[in-house]
Structure 1
Amino acid sequence: MSDSQIVIEPVSGKKGRKRFVDLGRRFSERLEHFVPQLRSEQLELLDPDKNPFFQHAEVQLFIATRAGRDVGRISAHIDHVALEMPSEQGFGPGTGLFGYFDAEDATIASALLARAESWLRERGMVKVLGPISLSIWEEPGLLVKGQDHAPMIMMGHHPAHYQGWIEGAGYELAKTLFTYDVDITDGFPPLIQRIVQSGERNARITIRPVDKSRYEEEVRTALEILNDAWSGNWGFVPFTEAEIDYASKKLKPIIHPELVMLADLDGVPVAFMITLPDINEVLVKIDGKLFPFGWVRMLRWLRKPVGKHMRVPLMGVRRELHNSRLASQLAFMMIEHIRKNAVREFGTVRGEIGWILDDNQGMIAIADAIQSKVNRQYNIYCKSL
């Protein structure tokens, strides 16, 4: 075996996961606008005993070595819930996934993708989508626009040259995801204000903050609305009961009632909007390390996350209201309530909405109406096996 030969080996277990995560962190550190994440959180996402995604998925991690040195990584995985979805929505029978893609050069990238494809083909998959790491609800897509500024909470950050390596391996664009940036300090255009004021005069509508004394019930309500609202979207995979419980616990430390709204129609919850303070702002300051003193700063920030940026990762209106004026009115009302609270209580200057699918005309219209602009683009690729 020559020193230049690439060896790709499957890794597993606690030791293998640590090696896999640490390799990814080394790649991330090379990027401009890199934000160090908590290593413990990254390890937990890959732990079958902690992440409920593994209850309905098969996952294999691979590491590429050359001359005894780790030079790339990739995951290959099969989500059995995604296999049950309609094919016209992107997933469906025979669809495997790849994610956690990092490589030092094009040759290594090609070898890693081929190894993931082989693993999926051996298990009966006929198509591969990626990068999706691991779930569509975690970090989907490859960043192809927006490398010139730091990522926000729960968003991936990748070097520009990965796009050419993936496309060079025969992958075609399957779906584009956008995030939108908006200045929230000056309020929204007069038309939006009139729509909001009209809704506030409607006795049937109540916009209310999440009740933290009933936190689990409220978050479950929001995610149940999400499962209904997004069920016709490309790439949709419903949250399982275990995933709803897991997401509820993980989000609790960064949920602030002023930033999470539910909309009731005739006393029944029909819409929600979750806004998260950008924890990346504090992670940069503590270099992604809780010890020895980072945890003090983190606890202080969690109690009152004052910062310039916030992100709206999830919002939805029940499907029965889709394509109605009421749906957009509820969305504008929740956005305006949260905008005012974010500026007044947390000193927020800018918001990021998304990701939003390139064919989600309703959400794109809302983003355009509040004069937001695309600031990031993520591509999900597809290849026949």
Structure 2
Amino acid sequence: MIEVRKVQDKKDLKKFIDFPHELYANDENYVPELFLAQKDLLDKKSHPFFQHSEADFFLAYDNAQIVGRVAAVKNNNYLEYTGDQSGKFGFFDVIEKYEVAEALLDTVAEWQKERGLTKLAGPENYSTNETCGTLIEGFDSPPTIMMPYNMPYYKEFLEEYGFEKDMDLLSYKILTKDVPDKLIRMSDKILERLNGKGITIRKINLKKFSEEIDKIIQIYNSAWEKNWGFVPMTDAEFKHAAKDMKQIVDPDFVLIAEHNGNPIGFTLSIPDMNIPLKKLKRGRLLPFGIFKLLYHKKDIDRVRIVTLGIVEGYRKLGIDAYFYMKAFEEAKRKGMNFGEASWILENNEMMNKAIENINGKVYKKHRLFKKAI
């Protein structure tokens, strides 16, 4: 008999965070999430998401054993911004037993219907601004930083429940050796042309981090405002995420474009910290995990291009090409073998074409699902 219980206290929350470690114990590609980061993300008292929206977390039990987890999410900012009456599900993990998945999803559907919502969509760990999507292709390698990973049977379970495809998210692999040298040489010419139009591109100044983040927020919410599934981040949400990001960013991989001093574009790439994180037992930094993390940073051989955005009116000037070229020029200079550009909406023709032009190949796909309830 499957029983689904709501997470009630800190003890339950710890079980919720730790369940994937049990589920993927024998999976060589699994990378544990940092316990402290997950605890922060799920904290209803301190995380800024809960200033405007709500979520509850659930665990499925078979007798006394935990066999699955899920979150029910009502993102009020998304509902207001899009008009789409979709409740979200996220943090979905389950053993290979369909009735467990069904019990968890039934619980989320009822939770959403009680709040007047008519559709269920996801998985999204609050929104598309956070980790989202179910991996449907590319199970032969570990995920890069801040990208989800799951068992192959998740797609089958979601479809059996009645979900259908909403959107695919593409991840491209670009080997640094495959990026044409002529493209890298072109970067100086592109920059010269941009400078002639009053556009400058520079690295982020970490000494003025707070001021830089204020500029980047403007770009982020403007550049993505018309993207499918997007909801603007509040200043509190963006700054909360940026605070954690500051610990791992390399300023050589964060570029800001400005036109006559006004921010118009930025790109963020991150050395793939999942490589050292893979060595941490159950995502714990203490007592000795921090030393493993620092030791294995030397093994990082790839970078993930996390975000690249340009505000409308500046998108066909070559800024995106310059951002990509500089990312791979830096990756090559630092001895990295490849970069991952992820994720890209399958219907974003301009961005997909730009990556294909530097010999990027799709090597992973994640899917977002939808269902009437």
Whether TM exceeds 0.5 here: the answer is yes
User: Which residue of 300, 304, 308 corresponds with 2:301?
Assistant: 308
1:191-230: per-residue Cα shift (whole Å, max 9, x none)?
6744652332443232210011111211231232011000
Cα deviation, residue 298, structure 1: 3.0
1:130 paired residue number: 122
Equivalences for 1:1-385 in 2 at 5 Å? Answer: 5-87=1-83, 92=84, 94-104=85-95, 105-185=97-177, 187-188=179-180, 190=182, 193-194=185-186, 197-201=189-193, 202-203=195-196, 204-287=198-281, 288-299=283-294, 307-322=300-315, 324=316, 326=317, 329-344=318-333, 346-385=334-373
Could you list the runs of 5+ residues in structure 2 that have no partner in the other structure?
A: none
Cα deviation, residue 301, structure 1: 6.6
How many residue pairs match? The answer is: 369
1:95-131: per-residue Cα shift (whole Å, max 9, x none)?
1001111222111111111111011111101011011
Secondary structure of 2:309's partner? Answer: strand
Identify if the C-alpha distance between structure 1 residues 198 and 61 changes in structure 2 by more than 3 Å, giving closer, same or farther.
Answer: closer
> In 1, Cα distance between the equivalents of 2:71 and 2:26?
21
Identify if the C-alpha distance between structure 1 residues 64 and 177 changes in structure 2 by more than 3 Å, giving closer, same or farther.
Answer: same
- Contact 2:276–2:299, Cα closer than 8 Å, also in 1: no
Identify if the C-alpha distance between structure 1 residues 377 and 316 changes in structure 2 by more than 3 Å, giving closer, same or farther.
Answer: same
1:135-158: per-residue Cα shift (whole Å, max 9, x none)?
322211100011110000001101
| Paired residue type of 2:363 | N
Identify if the C-alpha distance between structure 1 residues 112 and 265 changes in structure 2 by more than 3 Å, giving closer, same or farther.
Answer: same
TM, length-normalised to structure 1: 0.91
Moved segments of 4+, more than 6 Å: none
> In 1, Cα distance between the equivalents of 2:7 and 2:101?
17
> In 1, Cα distance between the equivalents of 2:368 and 2:79?
17
- Contact 2:56–2:73, Cα closer than 8 Å, also in 1: yes
> In 2, Cα distance between the equivalents of 1:244 and 1:308?
28
Secondary structure of 1:351's partner? Answer: strand
Secondary structure of 1:139's partner? Answer: coil
| Paired residue type of 1:382 | K
Identify if the C-alpha distance between structure 1 residues 331 and 221 changes in structure 2 by more than 3 Å, giving closer, same or farther.
Answer: same
> In 1, Cα distance between the equivalents of 2:63 and 2:241?
41
For the aligned residues, what is the CA RMSD? 1.9
Cα deviation, residue 178, structure 1: 0.7
| Paired residue type of 1:85 | Y
- Contact 2:275–2:296, Cα closer than 8 Å, also in 1: no
Could you list the runs of 5+ residues in structure 1 that have no partner in the other structure?
A: none
| Paired residue type of 2:203 | P
